[in-house]
Amino acid sequence: MTARVLVVDDIAANVRLLEAKLTAEYFEVVTAMNGVDALDAVQRTKPDIVLLDVMMPGIDGIEVCKRLKANNATAHIPVVMVTALDQPEDRLKGLRAGADDFLTKPVNDISLFSRVKSLVRLKMLTDELRERADVNNGTVGQITKPAALPNASNGHVLLVEPRAQAVERMQAVMSGEHKLAVAIDLPSTMAAIEHAATPFELIIVSLGAEGFDGLRLVSQIRSQDAMRQTPILVIVDPIDQKNLLRALDMGVNDYLMRPVDKQELLARAATQIKRWRYTEQLRGSVKASMEMAITDGLTGLYNRRYLETHMGNLVDHYANRGKVLSVLAVDADHFKAVNDTYGHDAGDAVLRELASRMTRMTRGADLCCRVGGEEFVVVLPGTDLPVARQIGERLRLAVANGPFDIGGGKMIPVTVSIGVSTLVGFDDTPADILKRADEALYAAKRDGRNRVTLAA
């Protein structure tokens, strides 16, 4: 794995030691000797992770971490505090400042590399989501990615612990902070995940209990598509380094050594829940942006881009199998007069209601699109010309037989003209079918509107 690591320590020997170790593992290493230089280096070099000494003159590591996490541009960069301080209150101070982990000097090489690799993987996922959100923001201009890490209050946590006394202790710790569900083995864990009303934001797995294979459970969780990104925190005995390293290789996000310090548990849980919520918001932003790129914002129907992309696939599929497919070209009659007489808000109301009636009159498999101002296209897979004409007539009547509410207590009559065309052969193209439907639509307009006309 290649990544850029910023090492910050005011003692040159410590910097050179970490630099040598990380370089040997093919990381790109950037260094800084104090807090001010560290903040500058983060802005200049955009590291994937920061290894930060706590005890430094001037701005110490705790303050540097706070400033990084308070800056929207750097809050997502993982920070690992590396220090000679080894008391629980020291770790807690760093974690509360926003640090993602806390390593005590002298640093164990295996622990160092496993934590760096795990956090870098998470950072790369976050970067990809942020980049997609940025690209889509530029496309649609309405969806924004979250500015900073959200809070971690009232998290939905699953504890997997077969020992009743340990469960009671964990419930006492989590009470009032998070909603804690409990499972005791693999079947009850998978059942809890499957039937959870809301997705779990953190799963805590106890390793080392007699008769309980926590690593197999971790493997099962990571094999589920819906759970591959859910944070997992394992609790291990200090002597169980072998299982800890295997857990980290499986994708576990964090760990705690027994005996568990209450405040450190809450701090680490908060860090994982914050990151989970941040990445979920990014995923939501990307999904919403993608949906906006293919749907019409006013009516909720698919847009022209989606029609052009997917109609070709539909035509190829049905033509290659000798099956039928038809198209309706739909246009609201005298729509300009609606806008001129009642205003554009009324026109928008007409278009929304027209789209709603169109959706009700068609099947879920049909492709309803708004392709222009008052122009719509409905693709009818598996539908021949006579049936497509019936569907068009049903849609025409659904529009003409009920006035449209344009707000302010006003109801106005609306009609549509519809042209119908169908797939006629293996060499037929989407452009040909749409052109014939448009020609039939123009014929319906010429013949008096409010009618359905078949393509010649």
pLDDT score of 376 more than 90: yes
Which residue, chain included where needed, has tokens 């990151």?
A: 275
Q: What is the pLDDT of residues 383-419, one digit of tens each?
A: 999 999 999 999 999 999 999 999 988 999 999 999 9
- Domain check: are 441 and 397 in the same one? yes
Last-in-domain residue among 77, 107, 137: 107
The reported pLDDT for the residue numbered 290 is 67
Q: What is the pLDDT of residues 177-210, one digit of tens each?
A: 899 999 999 999 999 999 998 899 999 999 988 8
Catalytic residue among 19, 201, 353, 374: 374
Q: What angle do CA 306, 311, 316 make, to 5 degrees?
A: 145
- Domain check: are 79 and 141 in the same one? no
- Domain check: are 256 and 114 in the same one? yes
* 291 lies in some domain: no
The reported pLDDT for the residue numbered 200 is 95
The reported pLDDT for the residue numbered 140 is 39
Q: Is 161 a catalytic residue?
A: no
The reported pLDDT for the residue numbered 356 is 95
- Cα gap 322→315, rounded to integer Å: 10
Return the percentage of the chain with pLDDT > 90, whole number. Answer: 56
- pLDDT tier, 125 (very low <50, low <70, confident <90, very high otherwise): confident
List, in sequence order, every beta strand (DSSP E) within 404-444. 404-407, 410-412, 416-422
User: Which residue segment(s) compose the domain that 35 sits in?
Assistant: 1-107
CB 283 within 8 A of CB 129: yes
- Cα gap 225→60, rounded to integer Å: 41
Last-in-domain residue among 83, 107, 131: 107
- Cα gap 168→179, rounded to integer Å: 14
- Domain check: are 103 and 130 in the same one? no
Can you spell out the DSSP letters for 311-344?
A: HHHHHHHHHHTT--EEEEEEEETTHHHHHHHH-H
Supply the pTM of this predicted model.
Answer: 0.61
Q: What angle do CA 387, 392, 394 make, to 5 degrees?
A: 95
CB 64 within 8 A of CB 104: no
* 402 lies in some domain: yes
Residue 345, token pair as written in the block: 């808000």
- Domain check: are 102 and 117 in the same one? no
Last-in-domain residue among 50, 80, 107: 107
Return the number of other C-beta atoms located less than 10 Å from residue 305's C-beta. Answer: 14
- Domain check: are 92 and 150 in the same one? no
Provide the mean pLDDT of the chain.
88
- Domain check: are 84 and 183 in the same one? no
- Domain check: are 99 and 46 in the same one? yes
**Rounded mean pLDDT, 236-261:** 87
Between residues 345 and 138, the one the model is more confident about: 345
Alpha helices (runs of H) in 141-229, residue ranges in sequence order: 164-174, 186-195, 214-223
- Domain check: are 87 and 116 in the same one? no
CATH number at residue 324: 3.30.70.270
pLDDT score of 143 more than 50: no
- Domain check: are 24 and 65 in the same one? yes
The reported pLDDT for the residue numbered 138 is 46
Which residue, chain included where needed, has tokens 């903040």?
A: 39
pLDDT score of 295 more than 50: yes
**Rounded mean pLDDT, 14-30:** 93
Between residues 144 and 307, the one the model is more confident about: 307
CATH number at residue 142: 3.40.50.2300
pLDDT score of 18 more than 70: yes
- Domain check: are 97 and 167 in the same one? no
The reported pLDDT for the residue numbered 320 is 86
β-bridge partners, 302: 295, 369
Q: Report the run of H or E that residue 453 belongs to, with start and end.
A: strand 452-454
Between residues 393 and 135, the one the model is more confident about: 393
The reported pLDDT for the residue numbered 257 is 87
- Domain check: are 274 and 413 in the same one? no
Q: What's the total number of domains in the chain?
A: 3
- pLDDT tier, 34 (very low <50, low <70, confident <90, very high otherwise): very high
Return the number of other C-beta atoms located less than 10 Å from residue 264's C-beta. Answer: 19
**Rounded mean pLDDT, 25-47:** 94
pLDDT score of 44 more than 80: yes
